[in-house]
Structures are given as C-alpha cells and as structure tokens.
Amino acid sequence: MNLQLFEMIYILALAGFLGFEVIRRVPPLLHTPLMSATNAISGISLVGSLVAAGSNKGTLSTVLGFIAVTSATINVVGGFLVTDRMLKMFKRKEEKPQ
C-alpha cells in the first residue's frame, strides 16, 4: 500500500467522523435542508469533471467531461438554490398572539 493512499484514507476517516459529529447536532426541523445542502456539496465531482472536459485528452474525454460538467452543475446550482429557498421560509413567530 502506498503512502498516498494511506493519507487519503486518513482524510476520509477524519472527515467522516467530523461530518457525523457536526450533522448529529442538526435538529430534525432542518433535516430536509441538510439533505439538499449535502446533496449540493456532493456536486463537488464538478471539480473532477472540469479536468475531464478541459484537458484535451481526446474526443471521448471531452464529450463525457462536458456531460459530467453539465450534470454536476445541475446538482450544485439546483441544490444550493433550493436549500436557500427552503431556509428563507423558516421564520420564528414575531409576536405572541393574545
């Protein structure tokens, strides 16, 4: 096993634990926004797609890369916009009615 792989597993495990601890504190009230937010964040595969689409390594890479960029962008943009649309709606009661 090479050292680089070990390092990546290290990062994966730490991020997983940290993520779990952070997410555990999210109240059920916000579980749907949490889901769409992490969904948007998983569109980070866009980063890999950009390289595939833009590095001129043959038609196949470019075409598949282009499709990947498009769908990852749908994921990111759609995810963040709808999360914001939801969060905007959560309001506290302004005044106690009689």
Partner 1 sequence: MNDYLLEASYFAASILFIMGLKALCSPVSARRGMLYAELGMLLAIVGTLLKNEIVSYEWIIVGIMLGSLIGGLLARLMPMTAMPQLVAISHAFGALAATLVGVVKFEEHVATNIDSWLMTVLGIEVLFGSLTITGSLIAFIKLQELITGAPITYRFQNIINLILFIGALGLFGFLLVNPATSVVFYLMLGAGLLIGVLLVLPIGGADMPVVLALLNSYAGLASAATGFAINNDVLIIAGALNAASGFFLAMIMSKAMNRSFTNVLFGAVGAKPGELHAQAQAKTVTRYTPEDVEFLLSSAQSVIIIPGYGMAVAQAQHPVQELGDLLMHQGIKVRYAIHPVAGRMPGHMNVLLAEANVSYDLLFEPDQINDEFSETDVVLVIGANDVINPAARYKKDSPLYGMPILDADKAHSVVILKRSLGSGFAGEDNELFYAKNTLMVFGDAKTTLNSLVQLLKHKEMALARK
Indicate whether 3 belongs to the interface with partner 1 (CB under 8 A).
no
Indicate whether 15 belongs to the interface with partner 1 (CB under 8 A).
yes
In the region spanning residues 45 to 74, those forming contacts with partner 1, defined by CB under 8 A, are 45-58, 60-62, 64-74
Indicate whether 6 belongs to the interface with partner 1 (CB under 8 A).
no
C-beta of residue 42 within 8 angstroms of C-beta of residue 71: no
Residue 94 Cβ, how far from partner 1 at the closest point, in Å?
8
Number of residues binding to partner 1, judged by CB under 8 A? 86
C-beta of residue 69 within 8 angstroms of C-beta of residue 46: yes
